[in-house]
Structure 1
Amino acid sequence: MISQNHKIVIGGDSLDTKVLCQNLKQEVRDLERRVNILQQEERPNLHCINHFADLLRQRRTVLRWVEERSRL
């Protein structure tokens, strides 16, 4: 858990890591829900599942990176 307010500067913008982590966690939960719903369809669209699964992996990677940087 992030205890201090750290900032990450990206392209001249300063982002609060606590807010960024909260937003990323919500996005990860939303993507997990979407993938689960798509997988449960009678005739799942594999292209859509793969697309959202790729987005989910990317967001998880970014979330881990932000969490690690916020601990430094």
Structure 2
Amino acid sequence: MMTTILAFAILCATTLLVLRNLRTVAHDTYEAVASAAVRLRHSSKPGAKLAFLTLWVLIFGLSYFL
């Protein structure tokens, strides 16, 4: 029971921190995605890197939404 309460408190605190700094988080995310897109465009193996990116998005998406 105590572990559940602690986990829920950490989840709530993290969510509040992200929502409080949502503009900064969105700007940093945009910069990271734009930079990754430029590097992907100029790399020699875009298919492999795109597959690796898709894998990570899938892992984080499923862990967050399930």
Shorter-chain TM-score range: 0.3 to 0.5
Instruction: Tell me which protein shows more strand as a share of its residues.
Output: 1
- Between Structure 1 and Structure 2, the one with more helix by share is 2
TM-score when normalising by structure 1: 0.39
Higher relative contact order (CA 8 A, sep 6+): 1
